[in-house]
Structure 1
């Protein structure tokens, strides 16, 4: 079969089209590949994709979504969501990936009510399949906790999540996961202590180790047990840094700032140099010395020297505590 020639409207885009074909060949060869096509409106992005779709029609079923404004965040999830929505009706599991993406984007922006709305939309869907969503239901407990912490009502969401969780087969509804979810939906120091223990167990999403500690710290602060809450909050921050979960790091830091649990450090951030302030901000993002060096165009050893100076000046002993002190600004 003769491959269609490039139309005259594609003059000047031969290299772009060739790059798409090279990416396609890598995918066919078993190498997952992503290509971001960007540019001002009207330069021919959609036309380029349509031409590529036409030329590969015999070899693959190519789905083309719409152009999206990535905005300041330049989220790579946007195009993925568009593509998944176009095929969601064909493959039900793709629909859950869309929901996961909607929730992840909202959480990344700190829009907890929006994230909870996405959870509720999932539970209301007529085609809801529990086996596909049990992890989402568990992690929605954290979303409920954050919305509650902001002072907004969560009763409807709690009831919906409980209802669907109860419908899970017992073979799927792990006891440990149930303890964690119950503690997040109806928190108290006693049940959250059990949740922390279960979160440290086997086959548990790593984020739950940080989330349960954060929630127990909140409960203990409310009960006046600030010393234990401080230890838990430091542990939660360490977990968030270890797994590189920026939204959890931000929430932990915000609670540390609001509660004043890290008050009493001997030093202050005002003692830091401009370079040390840059370094401590990257420490707060969970970056290693090597990664900090790459960001600031310095060696890992120099980054390590800066970190040591920061710990000394702030009167703290760990990177996590330094990040929490910095968050108090």
Structure 2
């Protein structure tokens, strides 16, 4: 905690933490305290010694070479033994071939002699040949047009050629819902508002022709609920807008929040600005400024995010978004008495069957004076 001169204590929490590699935007200056440096950083604390990566062919080759070396030693010992036995029997009878010099040689000398004679049993050039083959395999991988990603101009890159043989040898696949095995690109597809299901505009369809936009402009009985829904998508988040060349780029902590903001902008509710105490939304040419009274961030324990704001008309509203398992138990009067709860739950099940990630939005008005 920091303490100003003769004033109050200022707490430092996770909201003020800038992790390694983070980028600060839309901020002219900051007071910073550097903590957890050097070997105390999370990266250094979690770092371990890099393991030695070897392919299955390397392991088999090393085992076979070790076996061949053991066979070489056994053959050399047997040959040296039989050499001693043969010399002891022939030295006295076969005097004409001058075996006296050979008989004086020791067993170790004979063992080394046979070890040199049989050394071709060890494939010394095998490792060199394998490394040359792997080198050219890595070059072929980097030149493979089917592994080239044109969107980012990134070819395949074999950082180490030791594991080329392991490509395609897949036994198990573990998947989850966080985009680890996918491109992790989130898009706004469908929504359920006031018991009516809406789809996003098609590739050749204007958003003005969509049922959601028509119900909003024609003052459908659910138009007020649609406005609240789009307003919530546009303000209940921690996205930072950045203007570049007349366009707004959104920087979000997760692709989910960015997709929701773009979904609201698709129907005319454009999140345009954020200040420490307010957010601005461009709704059909009208700029609406909402005063942010409090933000309760999303956590894995709460499974929801809450935003308390003062609307341009002076009302105080609490917007909340999160998983249906935490939103439904908190509905006023329970899920069986809350408005639109039963039909929305049926739509959520339909969305989940389509493989979509679902989110529930809730709203309440604060009548007590703050």
Could you state the TM-score of these two structures normalised by the residue count of structure 1? 0.24
Higher helix share: 1
Give the structure with the higher percent strand.
2
Structure showing greater Rg: 2
